Amino acid sequence: MPLQKKRIILASRSESRKNALKLLGLKFAVIPSQLDEESFGERNPEKRALKLAQLKAKDVASRVKNAVVIACDLIVVFKGKIYEKPKSRKEAYEMLKTFSGQRVDIVAGLAVIDSESGRMFSRLKRCKVQFKKLSSKEIKDYIKRYPVLNFSGAFDGSAVLMFAKHIDGDALFYTGIPLSELTSILKKLKVM
């Protein structure tokens, strides 16, 4: 287990992200960002993911002392369109049906900030998921079992493991955090 010299704060309620930090052996607290993501107008996926992660990290860092704040934003892009969190199970079904048999881009922004010094590190990761052809039953079963309204594009790492035919790039979806980049940043900040 790594030695921690500062408190670590995860700026997210995401169970996948909590599990990722536990996987690294980190002790942390959860303080979700209060950022209104829907009012953020940037439509370029890379800029949006990175900027939202940075804004979430700054929001939480402004409310805590002597801590390292970790924030992420994950964006699903298909044919140039950003797919946000669905507003209903019907919309989630339509999204997953759209992705069936298609190649979908996933963009992840990561921001880590030391609330004491204000020093921030940001990283951007991108990968592509080739979905297999999905049956209506597979989609409906997934929607029944998982909180799809919490996920951009209506899917998380579990769905990628179940629905992916092929992944190009880092399979970061399983955790919602690019772990190798996070580990590197935490070492630079002397938290690990």
Domains in the chain (CATH in brackets) are 7-188 (3.90.950.10)
Q: How far is CA 166 from the centre of its chain?
A: 20
Q: Would residue 59 be called left, alpha or beta, if left means φ above 0 and alpha means ψ between -120 and 50 degrees?
A: alpha
CA 23 – CA 70 distance, rounded (Å): 15
Please choose, from the candidates 87, 74, 83, the residue with its C-alpha nearest in 3D space to the C-alpha of residue 157: 74
128: tokens are 């592509």
CA 165 – CA 169 distance, rounded (Å): 13
pLDDT per 10-residue tile (average), the chain, 192 residues: 74 89 93 84 90 96 96 94 95 98 95 95 93 97 94 87 87 75 92 87
Please give the model's pTM, rounded to 2 decimal places. 0.90
Catalytic residues, by residue number, are 73
What is the structure's pLDDT at 177? Answer: 87
Cα angle 187, 160, 54; round to 5: 40
What is the structure's pLDDT at 15? Answer: 85
